Amino acid sequence: MRRGWRAPRRKERRTLNRFDVLTLFPAMFQGPLQESILRRAQDKGLVTIAVHDLRDWTHDRHRVVDDVPYGGGAGMVLKPEPVFEAVEALRQGPRSTVVALTPQGLRFGQGMALELARLPHVILLCGRYEGFDDRIPRGLQALEVSIGDVVLSGGEIPALVVLDATVRLIPGVLGDEASALSDSFATGLLEHPHYTRPPRFRGMEVPPILLSGDHRAIARWRRKEALRRTRQRRPDLLSRASLSDLDRKLLAEIEREDAGVALENRDERD
């Protein structure tokens, strides 16, 4: 072998992904981080997820993290001092992004998960009580994120939602990369229905085309059923999706079929 020769280096992964979670309830993360995809991603060294108790950054005997709201009213508010200290200890300069989980935040979705999956370091701040002192997200330039129009007891479960949705998009985490690409929302549509054995179960049949072995026909059926489901259940997604000529043709077929079904139902009623 020629001296000085080195094996060509495998294409370097862009960055190592790291998440630091700040919470008052670290135990809430134990189960979810130790199972399934999140566990495997950590075991493979593709992501580091560290969970920290916010009370570790208090300095009083009672480890107080909250206080009454100025102006009065019910509930307690998370104090800025321990949160700032914690974030300042964990932050790695401009490569870090702070995400504060709050129902007042920007709506989380597949697009945001894809963006977060590209970031080298994310600090997830879990709110509790009535929420954060408003100087926390402002002073830390945090991205405020909500997982939906529903109020949970705190940001822990939302943080787990963000972690799960994001980590599975980091290259190498899913065994079958294609499955992340065909997920609902990744294509802008809901997924087509899935079936497995047996072919007949309690009087319900698997659509015969799926048993035909005709891969072109199966792909067409799947696309059509994805379009049908999206049209029925999430017309808002359909109006934003980029559709091909074939998609439009399939949608026209669906419209004709549904109009036929409506007509049949009317005839049956009459």
Q: Is 124 in the site for ligand ADE (CB under 6 A)?
A: no
81: CB partners within 8 A, 6+ apart: 57, 58
Q: Is 151 in the site for ligand ADE (CB under 6 A)?
A: yes
Q: Is 26 in the site for ligand ADE (CB under 6 A)?
A: no
- Residue 130 · residue 93 · CB < 8 Å: no
Binding mask 237-256 for ligand ADE (x = CB under 6 A): --------------------
Q: Is 137 in the site for ligand ADE (CB under 6 A)?
A: no
- Tell me how many residues contact ligand ADE (CB under 6 A): 13
Q: Minimum distance between the CB of residue 209 and ligand ADE, rounded to whole angstroms?
A: 40
> For 54-197, where are the alpha helices, taking DSSP H only?
80-90, 110-117, 135-139, 156-167, 177-182
Q: Is 166 in the site for ligand ADE (CB under 6 A)?
A: no
Nearer to ligand ADE, 82 or 127 (CB): 127
Amino acid present at 215: H
104: CB partners within 8 A, 6+ apart: 131, 144, 146
Q: Of the ranges 17-25, 62-70, 152-160, 218-226, which one interacts with ligand ADE (CB under 6 A)?
A: 152-160
CA 124 – CA 86 distance, rounded (Å):
11
Question: Exposure of 53 by Cβ count < 10 A (0-12 exposed, 13-18 middle, 19+ buried)?
Answer: middle
Phi, psi for 82 (deg, rounded to 5): -65, -35
Q: Minimum distance between the CB of residue 43 and ligand ADE, rounded to whole angstroms?
A: 28
Nearer to ligand ADE, 133 or 225 (CB): 133
Residue 71 Cα distances to 76, 132, 230, angstroms: 12, 15, 47
Q: Any catalytic annotation for residue 103?
A: yes
Pairing of strands 66-67, 77-78: antiparallel
Q: How many residues are listed for the chain in this entry?
A: 270
What are the tokens at 236? 């808002």
Q: Minimum distance between the CB of residue 149 and ligand ADE, rounded to whole angstroms?
A: 7
Q: Any catalytic annotation for residue 168?
A: yes
Q: Choosing from 128, 168, 228, 231, which is the catalytic residue?
A: 168
Among 17, 102, 166, 230, binds ligand ADE (CB under 6 A): 102
Q: Any catalytic annotation for residue 255?
A: no
Q: Any catalytic annotation for residue 80?
A: no
What one-character DSSP code corresponds to residue 240? H
Q: Choosing from 53, 85, 183, 247, which is the catalytic residue?
A: 183
The footprint of ligand ADE (CB under 6 A) covers 101-103, 127, 146-148, 150-152, 154-155, 158
What residues are annotated to the active site?
A: 103, 130, 168, 183
